[in-house]
Structure 1
Amino acid sequence: MTPGFIRPFWPAPANVRALVSTRKAGDARHWRDGSESPPRAAGLPAEPVWLTQVHGTAVVAAHDQHDAPPAADAAWTDQPRRVCAVLTADCLPVLFCDRQGNHVAAAHAGWRGLLNGVLERTVDAMGCPSAELLAWMGPAIGPKAFEVGPEVRDAFLQRDPGCTAAFLPGDGDHWYADLYRLARRRLNGLGVRDVRGGGFCTVNESERFYSYRREGEETGRMGAFIWLAE
């Protein structure tokens, strides 16, 4: 275990490198703005392709030329040393690779992006048969902490009436939503059967993770990174 980082436990090819920072590694926003360098333990081979995340579904190629962080919530690449990255502090980071080790991607899946198809768009952009993909779900707000209004549940049920099990009654007309379960269901529906990770809670694991819901606007961000080694 590398201090300050989580490395996915998944059967990825040897040339696929991935990790997620924790709050012990510092605020990853400072790595993005250049005020701090990533810890050496991260082992990043190059400057990540940072995104301006907007809770949308746009996906960019990390190997394209980007003069400024593009407005997108996912990135993919099939070229080595191009680091795909997303920042989170309750939203769900999802990392992808194919079994041959030719493609990788990182997606930022808050409930809005998840609802509107950011995972589907990411899988489409990678251009691989979905059965050949592996996915790993990183630290996000857990199902016992993510209370949402009835409009959120209704929106998911309108898209997928079968996702009722991902919502449990909360206070009044509110519901507790399970982002991990919703994401797994979406991925399985696409044909991505090997989905690992989950089981974290950024809200309740305060010593380990930043949480927007717990700490507000001033909280830091974790970074989720994936790349192909040469």
Structure 2
Amino acid sequence: MGAHMTKPTQVTGKIWPGIRYFCTTRHGGVSAGAYDSMNLGLHVNDDPQAVQQNRARLCDSLPGQPVWLNQVHGTAVLDADAAIGRDAQPYDASVTATPGRVLAILTADCLPVVFGSDKAVGAAHAGWRGLVGGVLENTVKKMQADYGRLPDFAWIGPAISQLAFEVGPEVRQVFLEDDPQVARFFEPHPAHAGKWLADLSGIAAWRLALLGVPHIEQSGLCTYTQEDLFYSYRRSPVTGRIATVIWING
């Protein structure tokens, strides 16, 4: 019961004036077994009542209920200021200019990426499919189009690291066809011939730099190897989800 009685813990990056963001860990909730203990995903066969209790604990650190998305490894971006209540539709990113409106992304290996400026914030869920498909580009471009400027910063939260993310040659080829310069983010697997180790966080940072985002921070935290802190779908398909949230201080 020790973990169930602790306060939910968080990880975050550099402090930015007027903006709050963090990623939860697996500590501080009430879920049991493989979901121990702060699982925030309702779609992973955990006890729904436990998940709702965990979400209530998360809300203790927030100014309001998060805007949860129906994530599908796609590239669509929700305008959270114009479409509250449309959570049944598939989106993998969201943006807002409303102080106190909390954007949220659920992950268990994929990249959670948050963006901020003095006018707006954004959040994106990027697995390898969403990353190569352009979900980060779509989020940045929507912020620029809707709010008149690029985000000042992006933070790439805890995700599976290159040491743990094995992919086949077909995945590498999809990335190289899109941008040959990302070849340096793939290393041959030392034990599995023909397989590659992919640095998704590095690819994301590279793509964001190409867009002109001036400040890009990688958390350097690995969901796969740091089992004490995070859930990992690749480590165990029966597992929970962490949440990455961001909002403008009201």
Q: Is this a same-fold pair by TM over 0.5?
A: yes
Opposite residue 225 of structure 1, the aligned amino acid is: V
Q: Determine whether 1:120 maps to 2:124.
A: no
Q: TM-score, normalised by structure 1?
A: 0.91
Is 1:186 paired with 2:198? Answer: no
TM-score normalized with structure 2 length: 0.84
Distance 1:129 1:194, change over 3 A: farther
Q: Does 1:162 align with 2:181?
A: yes
| Whole-angstrom distance in 1 between the partners of 2:83 and 2:151 | 28
Distance in 1 between residues matched to 2:78 and 2:86, nearest whole Å: 12
Alignment of 1:126-145 (within 5 A): 126-127=143-144, 132-145=151-164
Contact 2:143 2:151 in 1 (8 A): no
Q: Give the counterpart letter for 2:27 in structure 1.
A: K
Looking at structure 2, the residues matched to 37 and 115 of structure 1 have their Cα atoms a distance apart, in angstroms, of 31
Give the whole-Å Cα distance in 1 for the aligned partners of 2:233 and 2:14.
28
Structure 2 CA distance, aligned partners of 1:175 and 1:38? 40
Task: Tell whether 2:230 aligns with 1:209.
Answer: yes
| Residue 3 of structure 1: how far off its partner (Å) | 5.5
- Secondary structure class of the residue paired with 1:225: strand
For 1:129 and 1:52, the matched residues in 2 are separated by 27
Q: Structure 1 counterpart of 2:9, which letter?
A: F
Conserved in 1, the CA contact under 8 Å of 2:108 and 2:242? yes
Measured after TM superposition, the shift of residue 175 of structure 1 is: 0.3
- Is this contact kept in 2: 1:20–1:225, CA < 8 A? yes
Which letter maps to 2:138? R
Counterpart check, 1:5 vs 2:9: yes
Residue 67 of structure 1 deviates from its aligned partner by: 2.7
Does structure 2 retain, via aligned residues, the 8 Å contact 1:145–1:176?
A: yes
Whether the 8 Å contact between 1:8 and 1:197 is mirrored in structure 2 is: no
Paired amino acid for 1:63: D
- The equivalent of 2:90 in structure 1 is 71
Ranges in structure 2 where 5+ consecutive residues have no aligned partner: 1-5, 29-37, 43-48
Whole-Å separation in 1 of the counterparts to 2:58 and 2:236: 27
Q: 1:225: which partner in 2?
A: 245
2:218 is matched by which residue type in structure 1? G
Please give the per-residue CA displacement for 1:111-169, whole angstroms capped at 9, x wherever unaligned: 00000100000001112566652000100000000000100100000010011110000
Q: Give 1:6 deviation, angstroms.
A: 2.9
Q: Give the C-alpha shift of residue 63 in structure 1.
A: 1.7
* Structure-1 residue corresponding to 2:67: 49
Report which stretch shifted further, 59-68 or 124-133: 124-133
Q: Relative to structure 1, is the Cα distance of residues 33 and 208 closer, same or farther in structure 2, using a 3 angstrom cutoff? A: closer
User: Is the 2:224–2:234 contact (alpha carbons within 8 Å) kept by the matching residues of 1?
Assistant: yes
Greater radius of gyration (CA): 2
Number of the residue aligned with 2:198: 177
Is residue 19 from structure 1 mapped to residue 39 from structure 2 by the alignment? no
- Letter of the structure 1 residue corresponding to residue 12 of structure 2: P
From 66, 69, 85, the counterpart of 2:104: 85
1:160-183: per-residue Cα shift (whole Å, max 9, x none)?
001111000011111000011100
Could you list the runs of 5+ residues in structure 1 that have no partner in the other structure?
A: none
Secondary structure of the 1:20 match is strand
How big is the shift at 1:34?
3.4
Greater relative contact order structure (CA < 8 Å, 6+ sep): 1
Report SS of the residue matched to 1:211.
Answer: coil
